[in-house]
Amino acid sequence: MRMFLKLLLLVCYSWSCAQATNCNTTSPYRTLDGSCNNLQNPSWGAANTVYERLIAADYGDGVKSPRKATNGADLPSARTISMKLFGDENVLEPAFTLLSMQFGQLVAHDMGFIRGGADILPCCSGGKLVSNPVPRCYPIPVASDDPVMGSAGVQCLDFLRTITDCDTDPSSCSNNKKAEQLNVVTSFLDLSVVYGNSVEENTPLRQFTGGLMKVETRDGTDWPPQNPNANTVCVQRNPDDACYLTGDARANLSPHLAILHILFLREHNRIATRLAALHPDWNDEKLFQEARRINIAQYQQIVFYEWLPNFLPLPENGDKRSLVSVLAHQYRGDVNPTTLNSNAHAAFRYFHSAIISQLHLDHENRSKAGEVSFTDHTLNPAILEAPCKYAQLSRGLATQPMARIDLNIDHEIKHNFLKLDAPFGNDLRAIDIQRARDHGLPSYNRFREWCGLPKAASFDELASLLHSSQDAARLASVYASVDDVELTVAGLFEKHVPGTQVGATFRCILLEQFHRTRVGDRFFFETSDPIVGFSKEQFKQLRKANIARLLCDNTPKLEGMQSKAFATIDAGSNKVSPCSSLPVVDLDSWK
């Protein structure tokens, strides 16, 4: 854990909050820190601003302490809830590939990263509470009879509270103002994971010639630059092991996540190279900004038209909001695009159930060549540069089914998350529960009410909303009151809306978030604004963007891909086809 926290420091070296400055109203390019997207409210969605809320925080003391039960007692241990209510089996989802889950993580990282996750302040050492812990310590208790960690003598798991505006400026939180957590990345779908969230972060990532991002070429293949602090931010088994410097410090967390970072980095340079050929008169800055603009537009097309429809529903009569209605809106300056606390730290985390820790390596014919463990390669993406492995892992990513969204979470993620060289790891499900309490997210019932859905007055009433009638009894075994039941927990127990991967409450929050993300982004690629929008012919080309073609264009030795790469291969409607047959964005439209 300490190694990972050191890694995260890289994203946090510039804490200057976005200020309401004089905005350039004629620039077609978004700022790196997200400021000035909204000309009337320049800080909306900018890096280093607070998360937005649908419902006011429910803190234990009304101001900043973690949420408590309705009777004033502490809520049950997050690890106990994880163990009692959630399994660790891998039940596969036959419809969608692991790419769907991994892309969701990239989107989540693009929209949010809590401030303070980089701090190296251990709360538990060797599984025991440290003496004189810092005030931000909020360790997760582990019961002595815990069947996995109890026998090892583990009494607590590390957890630090997120830094809030009250921590950075105590004077702003007088008169019992509620604390709000800070987000250090932009809220927009702007590939900040590639480009960084400030000029200071972006500068070491650029070549400053030909509009290119900086790369290192090894064996004829381009890779992100080596991180200058590789020996402290990655788990290197050899001094020359790869450890990448990207726009987001979490890029090295897993080989699959690194692949997606590399994908959009290479795509930027592919676009910039083509634009330079079309426009030899353009200087480096013009080429960089235009390539970035196109790269982001392709990414937004994929997010909203290829990926989101897989887990959000088609419109239904009487719906307050549906995916189609989200897509139908043009920019509105009165919509705040800031990432929602309840989305980033509850609803969107449902994807953690889809994680698989054993990653397949596949041959071109999609037969299995082997597999590697997420745990063995955490913070060490060096395997990507081993002969054939990058292409094999990329094929596996788009072939291997993800886990089903259910009440399980992968065994390694539940018991050995960020284990590194320690005898035990952390529990991602428990971390999710603890983080929601840290942020004062109100109860499941409160969010049901906000969404216009019926509240449950008792556990008996709750039963009809869940997967099975026994689930309410399971929740009642750990919560004293139905109003104690947490959004992060009950959201996973809800019956899925037909045709989707989520229940009604998470669906409501996700739709609200992506409505704001789309409608509140002045630079969203579909805009008709003559200053920031694309021409009709360029827009027509951007509609062709798809994740399969991006993988093909940026993965050496990859010869074919199914056209719907988020969906599992089907010999009929979704078979592997030659890369050359897939739709492509014709950059000649930018002549």
List, in order of start, the domains of the chain with CATH numbers: 78-113+191-315+341-441+486-590 (1.10.640.10), 121-159 (no CATH)
Task: Tell whether the model's pLDDT for residue 10 goes beyond 70.
Answer: no
Q: Are 251 and 260 in contact (CB under 8 A)?
A: no
Task: Tell whether the model's pLDDT for residue 6 goes beyond 50.
Answer: no
Could you read off the pLDDT of 315-339 as tens digits, one per residue? 544 455 566 656 666 899 999 999 9
Could you read off the pLDDT of 67-84 as tens digits, one per residue? 999 999 999 999 999 999
Residue type, 112: G
Helix-, strand-, coil-residue percentages of the chain, each rounded to 5: 40, 10, 50
Determine the pLDDT at residue 318.
Answer: 42
Specify the pTM: 0.94
Could you read off the pLDDT of 412-428 as tens digits, one per residue? 999 999 888 788 899 99
* Secondary structure of 160-229 in HEC code, one letter for each residue: ECCCEHHHHCHHHHCCCCCCCEEECCCCCCCCHHHHCCCHHHHHHHECCCCCCECCEEECCEEECCECCC
Distance CA 397, CA 355 (A): 12
Name beta bridge partners: 182: 50
Distance of CA 114 to the CA centre of its chain: 12
Determine the pLDDT at residue 1.
Answer: 35
Strands 92-97 and 401-403, sheet pairing: antiparallel
| SS3 of residue 497 by DSSP | coil
Active-site residue, from 109, 256, 345, 377? 109
Q: Are 99 and 550 in contact (CB under 8 A)?
A: no
72 dihedral zone (left: phi>0; alpha: psi -120 to 50; beta) = left
Q: Are 170 and 284 in contact (CB under 8 A)?
A: no
Could you read off the pLDDT of 440-483 as tens digits, one per residue? 999 999 999 999 999 999 999 999 999 998 999 999 999 999 99
Q: What is the mean pLDDT of the chain?
A: 92
377 is catalytic: no
Alpha helices in 279-353 (DSSP H): 284-302, 323-327, 341-344
| Mean pLDDT (whole number) for 14-22 | 47
Distance CA 531, CA 518 (A): 18
Task: Tell whether the model's pLDDT for residue 94 goes beyond 90.
Answer: yes
Q: Does the annotation flag 360 for ligand binding?
A: no
For the record, the structure tokens of 476 come out as 């009642």
Q: Are 448 and 485 in contact (CB under 8 A)?
A: no
| Mean pLDDT (whole number) for 383-396 | 97
| Mean pLDDT (whole number) for 9-19 | 36
Distance CA 544, CA 484 (A): 47
